[in-house]
Every structure is written in C-alpha cells, then in structure tokens.
Amino acid sequence: MPIPDTVPVLGISWGDVLFLVLAAVMLGSALLVVTLRDIIRCGLAMIVAFGALAGIYVMLGAPLVAAAQVLVYIGAIAVLILFAVMLTQAKNAPVGLVFQAQALPAAIAAIVLAVMIALTASATDWGAVTKRIATGTDALARLLFTTYILPFEVVSVLLLAAVIGGIYLAKREGRDA
C-alpha cells in the first residue's frame, strides 16, 4: 500500500511533520540543557539536541555535515564535556543554587533576543531564495580541497595548537598531587 503524500487526517506534508518533530525535540532538550539541576543530565540532554540537529541537517540536504555533527559533537565534544563534569563534581559540592542572581534579567534578554531574531528573519527579503537544494558530497569535497585548501590547512594547524594547549593546561604541576 503506497504512503500518501500528506499526513492523512491533518493534511500537512511528511516533511513538515519531520521538521516540527526534530525542531521540537532539539529546542526542548536545549531548554533542558540550560535549566536542569543535575549537570550530568544537562550533558545527556545536549547529546539529544545535537542528534536532532543532525537530523535537521539531513533534511536540509547536507548529509556530510550531519555525519560530521554526529562524529564531532556527539562523539567528541559531548564525551569530553561529560568527562570534565565527572572530574570536577566534588561529592561535597554545593547543590543549592544552579543559577546566578542575574537569571531573571538573562531570561528576559534571551526572550527579547529570540523574538527580535524571529521577526527580523521573517521580515527580511533574502533575495534569490529557491526550493531546497541538496549539497553533493563530491562537489563539497572538490570545493574543500581546491578553493578552500588554505583554510583547511590552517584549521589543521589550529587543531594541533589546541591539542598542545590542552595538554599543557591540563598537565599537573609537580607539587600538587
């Protein structure tokens, strides 16, 4: 039995449903990241948000970026952050206050920022906007290794510098064991 083009009862397309679900999961777990009390759970919610964002990248026709999102953000950055959480949460850490005193003004500022960005983005005429187009991986690779070869090499040097800097900063001084 063939699947109909739109959702049977609601009459909206499957792409819209997928987009709404992914966006809701991403924004909901992002809210959990900034509001949950237990910081380990914040880290886990962050992984969910990154995964949903990878799904949105696939919807936007950028599968290579989605794969890099899963590898780099979920595989490397989230794990790194979870390790740092485990190393810095002392047993006798104060559990009471999660937020600074400026949390309420920060919330107001964030809401104003969101509304402002949303209004500006929908009011602006972006010019030559077409239907959604996919990015071919071979075209992307050609671009990355010809036109953008210099930034690519600079980024690899930057990563090397970050590795060395990270090791230097995290290294224990001889005296404090």
Partner 1 sequence: MSQSLDAYLVVSGILFAIGTFGFLARRNAISMLMSIELMLNAVNLTIISFGAFIPALNGTASVIALMVMAVAAAEATVGLAIVMAIYRNRRTPLVDEYDAMRQ
**Smallest distance from partner 1 to CB 36, Å:** 9
Q: How many CB atoms lie within 10 A of CB 59?
A: 14
What is the contact mask toward partner 1 in residues 145 to 174, using x (rule: CB under 8 A)? ---x--xx--x--xx-xxx-xxxxxx-x--
Q: Which is nearer to partner 1, 2 or 88 (CB)?
A: 88
Q: Which is nearer to partner 1, 2 or 130 (CB)?
A: 130
Q: Pick out residues in 90-119 that bind partner 1 (CB under 8 A).
A: 90, 93-94, 97-100, 102-103, 105-107, 109-111, 113-114, 117-118
**Smallest distance from partner 1 to CB 31, Å:** 6
**Smallest distance from partner 1 to CB 173, Å:** 8
CA dist 73 → 13, 66, 170 (Å): 30, 10, 21
Long-range CB contact pairs, 25-28, < 8 A, 24+: 25/49, 25/52, 26/52, 26/53, 26/56
Q: How many CB atoms lie within 10 A of CB 39?
A: 17
**Smallest distance from partner 1 to CB 47, Å:** 11
Q: Pick out residues in 40-79 that bind partner 1 (CB under 8 A).
A: 42-43, 46, 49-50, 53, 56-57, 59-62, 64-65, 68-69, 72-73, 76-77
CA dist 56 → 37, 42, 53, 78, 96 (Å): 28, 21, 5, 19, 36
**What's the chain's length in residues?**
177
Residue in 131, 150, 153, 174 binding partner 1, rule: CB under 8 A = 131
Residue tagged 């449903």 (tokens): 17
**Smallest distance from partner 1 to CB 4, Å:** 17
Q: Which is nearer to partner 1, 1 or 88 (CB)?
A: 88
Strand partners of residue 6: 13
129 binds partner 1 (CB under 8 A): yes
Q: What is the largest CA-CA distance in the chain?
A: 72
